[in-house]
Structure 1
Amino acid sequence: MNIGVDIGGTNLRAGIESGGSITWQNKTLLENKHSLPSTLNQLMELIRPFTKYPVKGIGIGVPSVVDVSKGIVYNVMNIPSWEEVALRDIVQNEFNLPVSINNDVNCFILGEHRFGLARKYSSVVGMAIGTGLGSGIIINNQLYTGRNCGAGEIGMLPYKDSILENYVCNRFFESSLGMGAFDAHVAARNGNKKAIKVWKDFGVHLGAVVKAIMYTYDPEAIVLGGSIAKANRFFQESMLHSLKDFAYPESLRKLTLLLSENENIALLGAAALLDD
């Protein structure tokens, strides 16, 4: 058994992985994000009850660049006080347990590969589409993070007048509709024609991301996750249509596109960091 922790800009979640499932979990709203001592104390108090069980260690997913070898996190998204935090040492000293830390989207795809939809694939890319656009990569059954844990940042590639991420995340709906993706999804379900059109446009932009992944990594499968992926029925057709000009149709024919199903997959992936 390992403890998995998922740090977000709004919530902190933790749970115990046992037999490929999260057997017990808890979450708390992250408060006072401008105070490092306060946020660290919240994290410790969330983890503490789980350490009473015979766990082997603690795996933590963080929305940031991570020095994996040293366990240092930098410029954590939406937590201003976490500019440079030696998180591994802090947590290890508190609980006297082995700790492993990685990017949150890397945890997402590691969870899918170990316990979820991507178990049968040796090369797979996961995309988390929500507030931003993140990607995680498995190559030859191993998590690939790059030297600085920055591999897979497809969203930072130039696209149109900006970067891909600005067209494939919540900001796209805010700029196009004046509302977030959740409300845009509700509007589309209610038959709002403008919202439906924006979702179709979103699918075209997402197709550009899929093509970038294919040209760069040529994986067996791509897993779509994150809150926005739940609206796939409104963007799937236009996304697939936009792939028709892909230069290597045989490679595209062999590609499997999957939609993440397990709400706990990032926790499972964080817990799996101890065994990776």
Structure 2
Amino acid sequence: MEKAILGLDIGGTGIKGGILIKGHLEDIRSIPTPARESKEFILETIATFIESYAHYDFVGIGIGIPGLVDSREGIVLGLANIPSFQHVELKSFLMERFSKPVFVNNDANCFAIGVHKYGVGKPYKNLVGITLGTGVGGGIVINGQLYSGVFSAAGEWCSAPYLEHNFEYYCSGKFFHNVYDSKPKALAKQALAGDLIALQAFEEFGQHLGELLKMIMYSLAPEAIVLGGSIRKTYPLFKKSLFKSLETFAYPTVLANVSILISELDETAIHGAVALVDVQKDMVEV
């Protein structure tokens, strides 16, 4: 019988968990993150949440967080929107409490290894996963292995300078908020109804995203780039301008052999977290 694996997605507003059994996620649940509490209080909250899954007798715990991580030691160096959660020895705390293997990594890295292990990225040994949401995250899989880099910071193209700001400003929900004073979901509804300004917003978004993908292709020339995050659901609205932007890539032969894919996994963060345990023997560290 295949053993269960527990996956957690710890964010600034919520802690979400799920159990992987025989390749399927089950019992997905969430609790609010006590973001303004002390580090000790938050750790106990996480431990209590994990205890609620104890009846599954899981063999390991995988955790994704939106921040920098010393993945070798399982130390959270900083977690977005949680002031007290700085330099937290999360791995050692949980291993002492539960006597199970624990693996911690950046949530975008988790997304990349998750879609490679369980999603549309399965056929590809070399891929990049990009999460499009409130911000932009990136993860890299090379020869079937997750490449995290120093402090799990590999793939942080979001912070690279672009135009007047950086790629995150133009390739995430921040673009719609800052430039069009609206949220992607609301603009998508308007665009589908034929609103010209909303359609223009997604056309511009696709152009900017195309520039980001070209940067990735110049850097790594992966076999596939997988788009995830909430904004991926609006893909039909920016697909045309995205590929128009990609047409200016300097190496047509390379471009013709890169698959642009949309993740079909709704619980990508948890899939990625359990993948840390499932494939930990193949992880690449520096």
Alignment TM-score, normalising by the size of structure 1: 0.96
Contact 1:21–1:268 (CA under 8 A) maintained in structure 2: no
Contact 2:13–2:35 (CA under 8 A) maintained in structure 1: no
Give the share of equivalent positions with the same residue, in percent. Answer: 39
> Structure 2: which amino acid aligns with 1:212?
M
Match of 2:248 among 245, 248, 261: 245
Note the C-alpha offset of 1:23: 2.0
1:17 alignment partner, SS class: strand
How far apart, CA to CA, are the structure 2 residues paired with 1:23 and 1:34?
29
Gaps of 5+ in 2: 281-286
Match of 1:11 among 1, 14, 24: 14
- 1:172-187 matches, cutoff 5 A: 172-187=175-190
1:245 alignment partner, SS class: coil
Alignment pair present for 1:72 and 2:86: no
Contact 1:65–1:75 (CA under 8 A) maintained in structure 2: yes
1:235 alignment partner, SS class: helix
Residue in 2 that maps onto 1:96 = 99
Residue in 2 that maps onto 1:167 = 170
Residue in 2 that maps onto 1:125 = 128
Residue deviations 1:9-28, cap 9 Å, x none? 22111111112111222111
Residue in 1 that maps onto 2:224 = 221
Contact 1:33–1:39 (CA under 8 A) maintained in structure 2: no
How far apart, CA to CA, are the structure 1 residues paired with 2:151 and 2:179?
34
Match of 2:238 among 235, 238, 249: 235
Residue deviations 1:102-134, cap 9 Å, x none? 111111111111111111100000000111100
1:9 alignment partner, SS class: coil
Contact 2:129–2:225 (CA under 8 A) maintained in structure 1: yes
How far apart, CA to CA, are the structure 2 residues paired with 1:242 and 1:130?
21
Alignment TM-score, normalising by the size of structure 2: 0.93
Gaps of 5+ in 1: none
Distance 1:32 1:109, change over 3 A: closer
2:151 alignment partner, SS class: coil
Residue in 1 that maps onto 2:41 = 38
Note the C-alpha offset of 1:266: 2.1
